[in-house]
Homo-oligomer: A and B are copies of this chain.
């Protein structure tokens, strides 16, 4: 494979991985130059090209959306890594944009940008196989992998809703506390796994605090548990999945793994950055003009 500079470029953040020809990490960097923070993509891309030093620049995530730099149209699911690689867009010589994946389900159409790289990376590392996998985040993804490809998936707005409640709602004061992984969290998870009444149960948290039944310091943990328990309830759906890989940041995978355990599932936790890097390396061997 060629050495490359791979960028996981999201809405609010950006993570850079300088990868050598053996797939090893040379340097890692992250900043808050998400697509919404960047006014002039031309300058930003030129800086990254310079930083890549002649190696291919591989961009994934929201940078390829209609709000990013150049749109890389979604590949329809089911999609394997070869279909994804074949749809990579090259707006400038040596600069490549990974497309997202869309799922044209009549009941629940869905889209992703970025998680597909982590998914194929975790697979390339041999850490996940066919079956259900969980990618917790601002917009959690539950991906069903079949024959090594992304067959079906569902997005749940867990992190986004938590941030919105924290920014502006009756719960915002309570959410100033840092949520823990504690008894209050587990109580929330257990309740939400069994009870599909999140928009009511969230207010119950406030009522419990006001009436003295719950310490204010425990409310954030409990709210996090309610949201993550709901995520796991919906994500598992009626699927049979005894072991569920969880791919993401350590702070989130720990919470989701515990929630999955409470739902009676075993978990395999995979570091999201390692998965992204492996996915980028796997895609780099498939770039136009590259010999694997």
Contacts and interface: CB of A to CB of B under 8 A. Distances in A.
Given A164-B167, A167-B167, A169-B163, A156 B211 contact: no
Interface residues of A, number: 44
Q: How many copies does the complex hold?
A: 2
Interface in A50-98: 66, 74
A104 interface: yes
Contacts of A161: 161, 164-165, 169, 199, 202
B199 A198 contact: yes
A11 B206 CA distance: 15
Interface of A: 11, 66, 74, 102, 104, 108-111, 138-139, 154-158, 160-161, 163-165, 167-170, 196-204, 206-208, 210-211, 213, 227, 230-231, 234
13 contacts: A74-B211, A109-B204, A109-B207, A138-B170, A139-B170, A157-B170, A157-B202, A161-B161, A161-B199, A163-B169, A164-B168, A199-B227, A199-B230
